[in-house]
Structure 1
Amino acid sequence: MAEATPILRDTLLAALRTLPGTRKFHIHVLQSSPRRNTSLFQFAKPRPRTYVQDVLVLLSEQLGQDAPRVLVTAIEGNLYHVPSTSSAILYVCKVDSTGQTNGTSPTRALVRAFLNYYANPATRPVDARNLWIQLFARAQGQYLFPNSAQFEGKRPLSDVKLCAWWKRVLSQAALDVVDAISLNTPNSPVSSSSTAVQAYYILPGYGQLEAEYSLKVVSPDVTWEYGHPYTMQQSLPCALDTQFRNLGHYIPYFDDDPKSRFLDEIAYTTGGEVKSPVRKRARTATSVEDARQRDNVDDKDSGKEKDDRPLGELGKVTPDEFWERMSFRQECVAGAVTGFFTLDIEGEGQSKPQPQHVAPSPLEPQPGQVSSQINKRVLTALTTGVEFSTAERAIKATETLESTIKRLCEGISTIPNTSRSHSSGRSSTPEPRERSNLTLLVPPSTPPRNIKRAALPDVTPNPFPEPVASLETYQSHIYGSVCVSNPIPEATPQGGGKGDDKESSEVVAPVVTVLTARKKKKRAE
Structure 2
Amino acid sequence: MSLRDALLASLAKLPGRREFHIHVLVSAPRKRTDLYPYAKPRIRVYLQDIVILLSEQTTFDGPRVMVSAIEAALYNIPSTSCGILYISKVDSTGQASRPSPTAALVRAFLKYYADPSTRPIPVDHLWIQLFARAQGQYLFPNSAEYPGKKPLADVQLCAWWKRVLTDVTKELRQRRGDMTIRPYYVLPGYSELEAAQSLRIAMAQPPSDPPADLSWTYGHPYSQSDIRLPCPPGARDGGRTNLGHFIPSFDDDPKSRFMDEIAYITDADGVSSPKRKRQKTGGGRPDPPSDDEDADRGHGELNKVSTEEFWERMSFRQECISGVVTAFFVVAVSSPRTDDKANTSAPSPLAPQPGQVSPKMVRRVVSTLLNHHDFSTRERALRATETLEAAIKGLCEDLAPIPSSPKAAVKHVDRPSTPEPAAGPAHLLEPPRTPPRRTRDSHLPDVSPNPFPDPVASLETYHSYIYGSAAVDNPPLPPPGGGGHADSARAGDTPGQPQVTVLTVRKKRKAPS
TM-score scaled by length of structure 2 = 0.84
SS in 1 for 2:319: coil
Name the CA distance, whole Å, in 1 between partners of 2:306 and 2:486.
38
Structure 2 residue aligned with 1:375: 362
Name the CA distance, whole Å, in 2 between partners of 1:82 and 1:205.
32
SS in 2 for 1:23: strand
Tell me which amino acid in the other structure corresponds to 1:212.
A
Of the two, which has the highest radius of gyration? 1
Q: Residue 485 of structure 1: which of 451, 467, 473 is its match?
A: 473
- Name whichever of 384-393 and 406-415 sits farther off: 406-415
The offset of 1:116, in angstroms, is 0.3
Name the CA distance, whole Å, in 1 between partners of 2:422 and 2:380.
24
Gaps of 5+ in 2: 274-284, 404-417, 424-429
The offset of 1:303, in angstroms, is 5.7
The offset of 1:513, in angstroms, is 1.8
Name the CA distance, whole Å, in 1 between partners of 2:193 and 2:435.
39
Structure 1 residue aligned with 2:191: 207
Structure 2 residue aligned with 1:133: 128
Paired-residue identity, %: 53
**Preserved CA contact (<8 Å) 2:184 2:330:** yes
Pair 313,351 (structure 1): closer, same or farther in 2 beyond 3 Å: farther
- Name whichever of 226-235 and 388-397 sits farther off: 226-235
Q: Does 1:254 align with 2:244?
A: no
Gaps of 5+ in 1: 1-5, 182-191, 276-293, 417-436
Q: Does 1:226 align with 2:218?
A: yes
Tell me which amino acid in the other structure corresponds to 2:219.
G
The offset of 1:353, in angstroms, is 1.4
Q: Residue 395 of structure 2: which of 376, 385, 408 is its match?
A: 408
Tell me which amino acid in the other structure corresponds to 2:314.
M
Tell me which amino acid in the other structure corresponds to 1:404.
A
Pair 344,441 (structure 1): closer, same or farther in 2 beyond 3 Å: farther
The offset of 1:448, in angstroms, is 5.5
Cα deviation code 1:422-456 (max 9, x no counterpart):
xxxxxxxxxxxxxxx965599x9999644432322
Structure 2 residue aligned with 1:396: 383
Tell me which amino acid in the other structure corresponds to 1:374.
M
The offset of 1:503, in angstroms, is 5.8
SS in 2 for 1:500: helix
The offset of 1:39, in angstroms, is 0.9
Name the CA distance, whole Å, in 1 between partners of 2:73 and 2:63.
31
Cα deviation code 1:237-296 (max 9, x no counterpart):
001226261100011100000101101110101262689xxxxxxxxxxxxxxxxxx9xx
Structure 2 residue aligned with 1:511: 501
Cα deviation code 1:284-329 (max 9, x no counterpart):
xxxxxxxxxx9xx97xx94675146560000011010011010111
SS in 1 for 2:308: helix
Alignment of 1:457-476 (within 5 A): 457-476=445-464
The offset of 1:510, in angstroms, is 5.2
Pair 35,350 (structure 1): closer, same or farther in 2 beyond 3 Å: farther
Name the CA distance, whole Å, in 1 between partners of 2:143 and 2:337.
45
Pair 252,133 (structure 1): closer, same or farther in 2 beyond 3 Å: same
**Preserved CA contact (<8 Å) 2:39 2:242:** yes
Pair 370,153 (structure 1): closer, same or farther in 2 beyond 3 Å: same
Name the CA distance, whole Å, in 1 between partners of 2:484 and 2:149.
22
SS in 2 for 1:331: helix
Pair 400,171 (structure 1): closer, same or farther in 2 beyond 3 Å: same
Cα deviation code 1:117-165 (max 9, x no counterpart):
0000000010110001010100000000000000001011111110110
For the aligned residue pairs, the C-alpha RMSD in angstroms reads 2.9
Cα deviation code 1:94-119 (max 9, x no counterpart):
00000111221000110000000000
**Preserved CA contact (<8 Å) 1:145 1:383:** yes
Q: Does 1:73 align with 2:68?
A: yes
Name the CA distance, whole Å, in 1 between partners of 2:192 and 2:271.
37
Q: Does 1:160 align with 2:155?
A: yes
Structure 1 residue aligned with 2:341: 353
Tell me which amino acid in the other structure corresponds to 2:221.
P
Tell me which amino acid in the other structure corresponds to 1:220.
D
Cα deviation code 1:356-391 (max 9, x no counterpart):
5x3211000000000000000000010001010000
Name the CA distance, whole Å, in 1 between partners of 2:198 and 2:156.
9
The offset of 1:66, in angstroms, is 2.4
Alignment of 1:139-154 (within 5 A): 139-154=134-149
SS in 2 for 1:78: strand
The offset of 1:92, in angstroms, is 0.3
- Name whichever of 511-520 and 102-111 sits farther off: 511-520
The offset of 1:220, in angstroms, is 1.3
**Preserved CA contact (<8 Å) 2:93 2:140:** yes
Structure 1 residue aligned with 2:231: 238
SS in 2 for 1:398: helix
Cα deviation code 1:387-424 (max 9, x no counterpart):
100000000000111011001111123167xxxxxxxx
Name the CA distance, whole Å, in 2 between partners of 1:385 and 1:464.
32
Q: Residue 110 of structure 1: which of 105, 116, 121 is its match?
A: 105
Name the CA distance, whole Å, in 2 between partners of 1:389 and 1:308.
51
Pair 95,274 (structure 1): closer, same or farther in 2 beyond 3 Å: closer
Tell me which amino acid in the other structure corresponds to 1:171.
T
**Preserved CA contact (<8 Å) 2:57 2:63:** yes
TM-score scaled by length of structure 1 = 0.82
The offset of 1:511, in angstroms, is 2.6
**Preserved CA contact (<8 Å) 2:265 2:272:** no
**Preserved CA contact (<8 Å) 1:499 1:507:** no
Count of residue pairs the alignment pairs up: 464
Tell me which amino acid in the other structure corresponds to 2:209.
P
Structure 1 residue aligned with 2:168: 173
Tell me which amino acid in the other structure corresponds to 1:453.
D
**Preserved CA contact (<8 Å) 1:153 1:503:** no
Q: Does 1:92 align with 2:87?
A: yes
SS in 2 for 1:123: coil
Name the CA distance, whole Å, in 2 between partners of 1:274 and 1:143.
38
- Name whichever of 231-240 and 339-348 sits farther off: 231-240
